[in-house]
Structure 1
Amino acid sequence: MNFELTDEQRMLREMVREFSEKEIKPRATEIDRTDEFPWDLWKRMAELGLLGMTLPPDYGGSGMDIVSWAIAQEEMARASVVVADIQLLGTLMQNMILKNGTNAQKRKHLPPMAAGEKICIIAQTEPGAGSDVAGVQTTARPERDGYVLNGTKRFITCAMLADLAIVVATVDKSKGHKGITLFLVEKGTPGFSPGSKEHLLGVKGMATGEVVLDNCWVPKENMLGGEGEGFKRAMMSLDTGRIGIGCQAVGLAQAAMEEAVRYAKQRTAFGGPIANLQAVQCMLADMSAGIEAARLRLRHAAWLKDQGRPIIREAAEAKLLASELAVKVTSDALQIHGAYGYSTDFPIERMYREAKVYQIWEGTSEIQRVVIARQLLKEY
Structure 2
Amino acid sequence: MTLPFSPQDFKVELREEHELLRQSVRELCESRVRPYVEKGEREMAIPPEVRKAVVDAGLMGLNIKPDYGGQGGDLLSQAIVTEEISRVWPSLSTHVFIHWLFSTTLQLFASERLRSEHLPEVASGRAVVAFANTEPSGGSDVAGMRTTARKVGSHYVINGRKTFVTNGGIADRLLVTARTSQGERRWMGISMFLASREHGFKVEGRIETSGVRASNTAQLLFEDVRVPEGNLVGEEGNGFKQTMLAFDYSRVSVAAQGVGLAQAALEASLSYSSQREAFGQPVASFQMVQERLADAMAEVAAARLLTYFAASLLDRGNLQDGVVAASMAKFYATEVAERAASRAIEVHGGYGVSTPVERLLRDSQILKTYEGTNMIQRLTVVRQVMKSKFGVNVR
1:347 match: 356
Matched residue SS, 2:244:
helix
Residues 334-373 of structure 1: matches in 2 within 5 Å?
Answer: 334-343=345-354, 346-373=355-382
1:287 match: 296
Instruction: Decide whether the 8 Å contact of 2:90 with 2:212 is kept in 1.
Output: yes
The yes-or-no answer on 1:330 pairing with 2:337 is no
Residues 1-380 of structure 1: matches in 2 within 5 Å?
Answer: 5-173=14-182, 175=184, 176-190=186-200, 192-310=201-319, 311-343=322-354, 346-378=355-387, 379-380=389-390
Instruction: Decide whether the 8 Å contact of 2:86 with 2:257 is kept in 1.
Output: yes
Matched residue SS, 1:177:
coil
The one-letter amino acid paired with 2:198 is G
The one-letter amino acid paired with 1:54 is N
Instruction: Decide whether the 8 Å contact of 2:32 with 2:53 is kept in 1.
Output: no
User: Displacement of 1:211 after TM fit?
Assistant: 1.1
User: Displacement of 1:371 after TM fit?
Assistant: 0.2
The one-letter amino acid paired with 2:342 is S
Question: Identity of paired residues, percent?
Answer: 37
User: Displacement of 1:2 after TM fit?
Assistant: 6.7
Matched residue SS, 2:188:
helix
Could you tell me which runs of 5 or more consecutive residues in structure 1 were left unpaired when the two chains were aligned: none
User: Displacement of 1:42 after TM fit?
Assistant: 1.4
- The CA RMSD over aligned residues, in Å, is 1.3
The count of residues paired between Structure 1 and Structure 2 equals: 377
Per-residue CA deviations over 1:223-255 (Å, capped at 9, x if unaligned) read: 111110000000001111110000011100000
Residues in 1 aligned to 2:14 and 2:27: alpha-carbon distance in whole angstroms? 18
Residues in 2 aligned to 1:2 and 1:321: alpha-carbon distance in whole angstroms? 19
Instruction: Decide whether the 8 Å contact of 2:176 with 2:192 is kept in 1.
Output: yes
Residues in 2 aligned to 1:152 and 1:135: alpha-carbon distance in whole angstroms? 13
Per-residue CA deviations over 1:73-101 (Å, capped at 9, x if unaligned) read: 10111000111111111111001011111
Instruction: Decide whether the 8 Å contact of 1:32 with 1:202 is kept in 2.
Output: no
Matched residue SS, 2:134:
coil
Residues in 2 aligned to 1:2 and 1:162: alpha-carbon distance in whole angstroms? 38
My pick for the range that moved more, 316-325 or 166-175, is: 166-175
Residues in 2 aligned to 1:4 and 1:372: alpha-carbon distance in whole angstroms? 24
User: Displacement of 1:9 after TM fit?
Assistant: 1.3
Residues in 1 aligned to 2:263 and 2:352: alpha-carbon distance in whole angstroms? 16
Residues in 1 aligned to 2:102 and 2:17: alpha-carbon distance in whole angstroms? 25
Q: Which runs of 4+ in 1 moved over 4 A?
A: 1-4
